[in-house]
Structure 1
């Protein structure tokens, strides 16, 4: 069976989930081929597939208007569309991470704000390496939790717009991959600072814009601290 015949059969049987995965992975393979030919920096197949499915999952979550926040380790406290002020005395930390494939770098940022919205402190850090998006996001959350642990704040809410990582951290299953080890470190940090009223929360991208934009533009202001 040729690729064309195989694709036609899938379309005929309307196997939508499989079709979406096939074309997303095919798109990722094509992009990897371009990177390999023109930039000599192709990725391993496991990373290609993982990255493609991560992008697909985020896209499908964004399209799903009937998403029930009561399932998938998500609570009623999650899913804010706009940034909300924390309670008096509680610090809100927004974190995000991004990849810069062109320069083979990734970065993470953390922004801490008072209840009235004024910035207390922020950190931008850029590192060399080619990681998949999920690991990059997990590292950003880990660093944000570690940062909170080093402070003497009476309470904090750490917000991220990466739904997959919030679900993974709240899940009790064990993952022996490198991503799993980073997730386990996040879990342990939350245990370590639980008595200090620190929580991790999922929000929509629109509620995490300061972290998102700072992450995008931090390649030019890497390893900086404000506040």
Structure 2
């Protein structure tokens, strides 16, 4: 069984993940966009100050991925996360007045805004989210970054190629 599934032709897959770094009181998130051949279109990561609940960090990562997608001209996108709780919180219709709830509401609004562009959320196992996982962990040592297929960091290329071999 493949841990990495490529999307249908015409669909972009965006994997997102977050990481917490307690020693430096910060968290990071990353997103990786790939086409139906598994080719990386673009990747981005960011590290922010703050000590958050892991689920909140994941939801912030999803929100940032949705904002990122809003600025692209992709016609169909699947956003994948290995945090089931984050996906369920966004899909659930109950109103939550906590900070987590505000971020969830922002995700729902972005999804509504992107409805005509066929954007969906999907839960995947960690094994199917390794590139975003690696990038989120790697981001603690670098400032906000983005890469495109011409400027892939050698370490990231190694992880991308391993992911496709599975």
TM-score, structure 1 normalization: 0.63
Tell me, what secondary structure is at the counterpart of 1:179?
helix
Match of 1:136 among 44, 57, 72: 57
Matched, 1:126 2:69: no
The CA deviation at 1:81 is: 6.8
The CA deviation at 1:221 is: 2.6
Q: Which runs of 5+ in 2 are unaligned?
A: 149-166
Structure (1 or 2) with the larger CA radius of gyration: 1
Structure with larger RCO (C-alpha < 8 A, sep 6+):
2
How far apart, CA to CA, are the structure 1 residues paired with 2:24 and 2:85?
26
Q: Which runs of 5+ in 1 are unaligned?
A: 1-79
Moved over 4 A (4+): none
TM-score, structure 2 normalization: 0.86
Tell me, what secondary structure is at the counterpart of 1:106?
strand
How far apart, CA to CA, are the structure 2 residues paired with 1:217 and 1:161?
17
What is the root-mean-square deviation of aligned Cα atoms in Å? 1.2
How far apart, CA to CA, are the structure 1 residues paired with 2:2 and 2:71?
29
The CA deviation at 1:146 is: 0.8
Match of 1:212 in 2: 133
Match of 2:74 in 1: 153
- Structure 1 segment 16-95 matched on structure 2, within 5 A: 82-95=3-16
How many residues of Structure 1 are paired with residues of Structure 2 in the alignment? 148
Q: Which has the higher helix share?
A: 1
Question: Residue deviations 1:165-199, cap 9 Å, x none?
Answer: 11111110000000000001111111110111110
The CA deviation at 1:135 is: 1.0
